[in-house]
Amino acid sequence: MKKFLCYLMILLLPLLAFSHYPAHAESKELLGAGATFPFPLYSKMFDTYYQAYKVKINYQAIGSGGGIQQLISKTVDFGGTDAFMNAREMQKAEVPILHIPTCLGAVVVTYNLPKKLTLKFTPDVIAAIFLGKIIRWDDPRIAAINPEIKLPAISIVVVHRSDGSGTTFIFSDYLTKVSKDWAFKVGADKSLNWPVGLGAKGNPGVAGLINQTPGAIGYVELIYTMQNNMPAGIIKNKAGNFIEPNIKSTSAAANIDMPDDTRVSLTDTDAADGYPISGFTWLIFYKEQNYGGRSKEQAEALMKLMWWVIHEGQQIAEQLKYSALPAAAVKKAETILQSVVYNNSPLLKK
């Protein structure tokens, strides 16, 4: 009997802990869902924010598509997405949805060659490799841009993502812009009809397969190559400069004349020192915050969080090797946040 009581106590303890919890946290809990790419950054940001302001933020990394769906069905306070909502998706929401960029990501071309070589690539060569038109590493087209390197005489094995992903979207969006052939034969989406190659699941799957297949080439997120010490191809950008992918060159890609709603694809950027396969990741939310019975406090809490994310939060981005927003993008995001209203009156002061 004593033992039973003891168990009962243990079982009831958590209930006790939770019993005074909802009253305390009701208006101070925000719910978000979406992109997986910035998830490590968001968890760190939201944790830091919770330590400072005691506002709990629950972000579910269910994928960009899911984030958009959840926001449209109004089950979350905000969504996260790696690809900005297209016109059709915006229409589905019926009321205006706003995007603010939170950080930048880059997609890196990585490979497995006998020696640790840093290769240069032009857009044409990347497209030709992923279209299956260049099939050997010692192809003259690769040799022409890497004259100082002796390329191994082995076959190229293309590795791509098998699961639908924002990484594939950014990569194929880039190739669609730089290669007519690619645009005609493949196009841009989260999943593609790949002309050649092996598919692997997730960044770890692609990296794993590349690491163990001699002659393999594929694409992964920049953070992934930095954490795993993988080679990263240097890519020629629109201005004609060969750019090494890193946090700085990714941020630099956003130094362009961008539209006021920040819904812009940064691939093949005009910025002279920008890495060409970069992209924003966004948080999305409604312009009119009074919907579905949300309180004004809830809306204000959300706006404070967003403001914090594009200002103080940016320091965390650099720590975690995400590329922080350049000043111009922060400025645009500020204006967007100031346009958010509750019952038609602005939530943030100018």
Q: Given candidates 201, 287, 311, 331, which one binds other proteins under the rule CB under 8 A?
A: 201
**Which CB sits closer to other proteins, 64 or 110?**
64
d(CA 11, CA 271): 59
Provide the token pair at 248. Answer: 């700085």
DSSP state of 293: T
Two tokens, residue 13: 């303890």
**In the complex, minimum distance from the CB of residue 194 to other proteins, in angstroms, rounded to a whole number:** 7
Which of 165, 249, 262, 289 is in the footprint of other proteins by CB under 8 A?
165
List, in sequence order, every beta strand (DSSP E) within the chain.
29-34, 56-60, 78-81, 97-111, 120-121, 157-161, 198-200, 216-221, 234-236, 242-243, 278-286, 341-342, 345-346
Least separation in angstroms between residue 180's CB and other proteins is: 15
Nearer to other proteins, 146 or 228 (CB): 228
- Asked if residue 60 binds other proteins (CB under 8 A), the reply is no
27 binds other proteins per the rule CB under 8 A: no
Contacts of 281 (CB under 8 A, 6+ apart): 35, 37, 38, 80, 81, 82, 101, 102, 103, 104, 105, 166
Selected range binding other proteins among 20-28, 197-205, 284-292, 337-345, rule: CB under 8 A: 197-205
Kindly tell me which residue out of 46, 59, 194, 275 binds other proteins, with binding defined by CB under 8 A: 194
Binding residues for other proteins restricted to 97-156, rule: CB under 8 A: 155
- Choosing from 40, 152, 208, 231, the residue that interacts with other proteins (CB under 8 A) is 208
Burial of 18 (0-12, 13-18, 19+ CB in 10 A): exposed
Out of 60, 162, 338, 339, which residue is the one contacting other proteins (CB under 8 A)? 162
Which among 236, 271, 235 has a CA at the least distance from the CA of 254? 271
Distance set, CA 231 to CA 138, 241, 244 (Å): 18, 19, 11
Q: Report if residue 303 touches other proteins, rule: CB under 8 A.
A: no
Tokens of 234: 């240097």
What's the start-to-end Cα distance of the chain, in Å?
65
The reply to whether 80 sits near other proteins by the rule CB under 8 A is: no
The span from the CA of 48 to the CA of 208, in Å, is 32
The minimum distance between CB 192 and other proteins, in angstroms, equals: 6
One of 164, 228, 256, 330 touching other proteins (CB under 8 A): 164
Query: In whole angstroms, how close is the CB of 152 to other proteins at the nearest point?
Result: 15
- CB closer to other proteins out of 212 and 229: 212
Q: How many helices (H) and strands (E) in the chain?
A: 15, 13
Residue closer to other proteins by CB (options 206, 254) is 206
Under the binding rule (CB under 8 A), the answer on residue 157 touching other proteins is yes
Least Cβ distance, residue 324 to other proteins (angstroms): 26
| Interior/surface letters 148-164, b for 16+ CB within 10 angstroms, e for the rest | eeebeeeebbbbbbbee
- Asked if residue 65 binds other proteins (CB under 8 A), the reply is yes
Q: Measured in whole angstroms, how far is the alpha carbon of residue 10 from the centre of its chain?
A: 42
Residue 188 interacts with other proteins (CB under 8 A): yes or no: yes
Which range, of 13-21, 102-110, 160-168, 228-236, touches other proteins by CB under 8 A? 160-168
The one among 107, 200, 284, 347 contacting other proteins by CB under 8 A = 200
Number of residues that bind other proteins (CB under 8 A): 32
Closest to 128 in 3D by CA, of 138, 142, 118, 107 = 142
Which residues contact other proteins by CB under 8 A? Answer: 62-66, 89, 155, 157, 162-165, 186-194, 197-201, 205, 208-209, 212-214
